Amino acid sequence: MQRSIVGFWVSLVLVASPLAAAHAEAPTAAYDARKDRLEGFDKDELERIEGLLPQGPLALVELTDDPEQLSAINIALHVHAPARTLAAVVSDPAQYPRFMPALDEVDVVERRANAIVYDWAFEFAALRLKGRNTMTIFSAPASRPDAATRVTIESTEGDLGHGRFLFRIVPRGASDSLLVLSMRLDLRKATYVLRQLANTARSVNRSANVALAVSMAQHLARQAEQHAGVPVAAGTAAAFVKPNVNVKQLAPLLVRGDVLLFGMNGDHLQQLTVLGVVPEETDKVHSALRDARAFGTALVPGSTAEIVSERAGVTTFDWAIHVPLVGLSGRMQMSEAEGDVAIDATQGALHGGRWRFALRPLAKKATLVTGWAAFDFQESNWVLEKMVRDDAYLGNGMSAASELMLLRSLRKLATER
């Protein structure tokens, strides 16, 4: 119901196109993420977002009506490499371990026509995970230089559960292309330890999907650019600023889910932006956001937040997330400036991080939430710090997942009040 309410208000208030209709399909009793449809971005949606991609990737994390159904993760990014170069990188899984830190081994088991069956493995935190995937390649016709190449990967068995990946490589002239990745991976069917994490909350499964999707997409794009002889763009420091986003332009995406914008500074993630609609009055959303204790407790089951002091409009609170291996804790301060809510990490994990939230009424019971943040998981715990050091792109995905978690926790808290 949540998704349909959001879709109705965004379509009505922002005058979205007919293509912005909600697409949720209720899963069968025996839900299988490999069979759930991956929609990606259609032509109209790509045209709407393409002007944003030079700043960095854009992700759409879909909303679902059924608690058993998993959110599809959709990512689009601009790649400074020809489509044929990018397609060659994506469709050669044997080379993935050379540039993807999350993979230690890939052994090709079988090649047939346009399909590749391969086994993969990696080690993490004393665990050795392995599985088998089947890749199918649908190459663009040589006579159609504007046509996209499609590559699917199906997780047929293994320790990461069931899932499906869909890549689209879209030509953009002779030397550039777009990479679109859509995926679902169901950790509820994974190895025992990961199942326990996934069963903690839907947000844990979703966060893992977001982090993996971002890491894969950015590594594939960067590898293609290296093959094309394109150096890493030089970064130029920029201020931490409130994003200026054309919400009407993004309306069809906001019907389907929440949008994440990656503000890249060269090869470094400088600022993250999340946009989503909460189907409640703005005053109610604001009240939920300013309730530091309730907001912090709503993140995941077992998370806590305790007020330390409230003085001169500044709320100081201690927070903790109790999740095996990746538990975090620290102290933050919440205040308001020019109508926006500001949260700053002053002690503990994520020290120095900054989060800002702006609320905009779309209708009586529809509020647009825009959040922007800058923080680093290298200021957290040893497990997360090691993961980020080993794979900066995975760190980008983890940051995006945590920003999304804040938005969805706020939506849950506001709608349940």
pLDDT digits (tens, 9 = 90+) for 178-213: 999 999 998 877 776 566 665 555 677 888 899 999
Assess contact for 76 and 58: CB atoms under 8 A: yes
> What's residue 232's pLDDT?
85
- Chain length of the chain: 417
> What's residue 6's pLDDT?
45
CB-based contacts of 359: which residues, under 8 Å, 6+ apart?
282, 285, 286, 289, 341, 367, 368, 369, 370
Q: What angle do helix axes 392-416 and 282-290 make, rounded to 10 degrees? A: 120
Assess contact for 246 and 41: CB atoms under 8 A: no
Indicate whether 273 pLDDT > 50.
yes
CA angle 263, 269, 273 (to 5 degrees): 40
Indicate whether 8 pLDDT > 50.
no
> What's residue 65's pLDDT?
83
Report d(CA 394, CA 7) in Å as an integer. Answer: 30
| β-bridge pairing 115-124 and 58-62 | unpaired
Minimal CA–CA distance to 251: which of 50, 19, 65, 5?
19
> What's residue 124's pLDDT?
63
Indicate whether 240 pLDDT > 60.
yes
> What's residue 15's pLDDT?
38
Report d(CA 133, CA 188) in Å as an integer. Answer: 18
Say how many C-beta atoms besides its own lie within 10 A of residue 169's C-beta: 29
- The mean pLDDT value of the chain amounts to 87
Tens of pLDDT, residues 25-81: 444 447 788 888 899 999 999 999 999 999 999 999 999 988 778 899 999 999 999
Q: Which of 83-87, 100-104, 187-191, 197-201 has the highest mean pLDDT?
A: 83-87
Percent of the chain with pLDDT over 90: 62
Report d(CA 297, CA 279) in Å as an integer. Answer: 21
Query: Quick one: which H or E segment has residue 211?
Result: helix 202-227
Mean pLDDT along residues 243-270: 95
What are the Cα distances from residue 279, in Å, to 225, 295, 323, 340? 41, 17, 29, 19
Confidence bin at 125 (pLDDT 50/70/90): low
> What's residue 182's pLDDT?
98
Tens of pLDDT, residues 11-30: 444 433 333 333 334 444 47
Minimal CA–CA distance to 151: which of 89, 105, 107?
89
